[in-house]
């Protein structure tokens, strides 16, 4: 099977869905003719689809999402790009109070087929305003779907599912994943929401990880195999809906759980997954649940300090060894 980058997989999904459905259009800052997006995901699409369907917007996140919500409820399928995930804070009313609630507030008479794409994550030395991982914010909002693809295959398949759906989807991408290559079939496919993927089977410890941390977990699993520790790596792929069944089934098999996510530890993604297992599978645990996440601090600009706060192989191995 051919290999393409995460960025190319996203671009393919956008191109294919825009060809399939003329109501799909893109909007965001610098996504069009002169730039192709901050991370070049939309590069080249304006030449094929024109300025009406690949729309450059003013530098106003509230305007981008507000316009996208209005377009969605009146019959189109907008895919809005927010240049950095941190900047969704400038559009929280439009996301959390409008897009997520309109279907409910109007008794199901109105649908909001909207996708919001945005990059999260640290590791590229761009400081506290452009390096956060805020997935848990949106996981907390009823009415929003939250996707967290970790591979090119999942990125393409989940994005196509998001665009075709009838619900608002918050689509999280990680900056360090954009250049990563992976196998992606040329044939048509989609990836369903709410179905986790066991990226590696194991018998001693379950690691549930998201986005870039999936690859850190896989590297840890490979290394610990030489020590006789068999690690199973589960990638939720979506946080809302969350595939509790696959996670709990894995924990029932291994008896141990480490949850790895790049957001802050307090009230984060790892906290929700840990609480779910504690509520529904505590009798199967042979050791305490371990969480590996960022400390509750802004992301430093200093490269050494930035690397210090980001979860890594060393911190994941420490957690596994403490319970294995």
pLDDT digits (tens, 9 = 90+) for 248-267: 999 999 999 999 999 999 99
The pLDDT, as a whole number, for residue 59 is 96
Query: Who contacts 306 (Cβ-Cβ below 8 Å, separation ≥6)?
Result: 122, 123, 125, 131, 299, 300
Write down all domains in the chain, each with its CATH number in brackets.
Answer: 3-183 (3.40.50.970), 197-323 (3.40.50.920)
Residue 33 vs residues 37, 147, 197, 244: alpha-carbon distances, Å: 9, 28, 37, 42
The pLDDT, as a whole number, for residue 194 is 98
The pLDDT, as a whole number, for residue 60 is 98
Closest residue by Cα to residue 282 from 274, 270, 293: 274
**Rounded mean pLDDT for each run of 10 residues along the chain, 324 residues in total:** 97 98 98 94 97 97 98 98 98 98 97 98 96 98 98 98 98 98 98 98 98 98 96 98 98 98 98 98 98 97 96 98 96
Q: Alpha helices, DSSP H only, in 21-94?
A: 45-49, 61-73, 92
Separation between Cα atoms, residue 279 and residue 110, nearest integer Å = 35
Locate tokens 């439009």: which residue? 94
Separation between Cα atoms, residue 231 and residue 275, nearest integer Å = 21
Locate tokens 């999260």: which residue? 120
The pLDDT, as a whole number, for residue 275 is 98
The pLDDT, as a whole number, for residue 313 is 97
- Report the alpha-carbon angle 139-56-11, nearest 5: 60
pLDDT tens track for 130-183: 999 999 999 999 999 999 999 999 999 999 999 999 999 999 999 999 999 999
The pLDDT, as a whole number, for residue 254 is 98
Separation between Cα atoms, residue 267 and residue 181, nearest integer Å = 32
- For residue 300, what is the DSSP state? P
Backbone region of residue 29 per phi and psi (left: phi > 0; alpha: psi in -120 to 50; beta: other values): beta
The pLDDT, as a whole number, for residue 159 is 99
Catalytic residues: 130
Separation between Cα atoms, residue 82 and residue 61, nearest integer Å = 7
pTM over 0.95: yes
């Amino acid at each position: 099977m051919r290999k393409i980058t995460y960025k190319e997989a996203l671009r393919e999904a956008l191109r294919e869905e825009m060809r399939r459905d003329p109501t799909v259009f893109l909007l965001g800052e610098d996504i069009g003719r002169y730039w192709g997006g901050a991370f070049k995901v939309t590069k080249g699409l304006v030449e094929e689809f024109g300025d009406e369907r690949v729309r450059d917007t003013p530098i106003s996140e509230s305007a981008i999402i507000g316009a996208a919500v209005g377009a969605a409820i009146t019959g189109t399928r907008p895919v809005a790009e927010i240049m950095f995930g941190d900047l969704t804070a400038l559009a929280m009313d439009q996301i959390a109070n409008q897009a997520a609630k309109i279907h409910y507030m109007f008794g199901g008479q109105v649908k909001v087929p909207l996708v919001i794409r945005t990059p999260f994550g640290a590791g590229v030395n761009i400081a506290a305003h452009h390096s956060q991982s805020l997935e848990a914010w949106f996981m907390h909002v009823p009415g929003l779907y939250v996707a967290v693809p970790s591979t090119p295959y999942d990125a393409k398949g989940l994005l196509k599912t998001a665009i075709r759906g009838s619900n608002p989807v918050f689509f999280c991408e990680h900056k360090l994943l954009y250049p990563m290559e992976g196998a992606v079939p040329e044939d048509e496919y989609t990836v369903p929401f709410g179905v986790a993927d066991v990226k590696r089977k194991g018998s001693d410890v379950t690691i549930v990880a998201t986005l870039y941390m999936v690859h850190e977990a896989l590297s840890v699993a490979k290394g610990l195999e030489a020590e006789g520790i068999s690690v199973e790596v589960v990638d939720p792929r979506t946080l809302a809906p969350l595939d509790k069944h696959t996670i709990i089934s894995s924990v029932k098999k291994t008896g141990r759980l480490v949850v790895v996510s790049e957001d802050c530890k307090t009230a984060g993604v790892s906290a929700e997954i840990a609480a779910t297992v504690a509520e529904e599978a505590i009798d199967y645990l042979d050791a305490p649940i371990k969480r590996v996440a960022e400390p509750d601090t802004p992301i430093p600009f200093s490269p050494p300090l930035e690397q210090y706060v980001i979860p890594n192989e060393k911190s994941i191995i420490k957690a596994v060894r403490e319970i294995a």
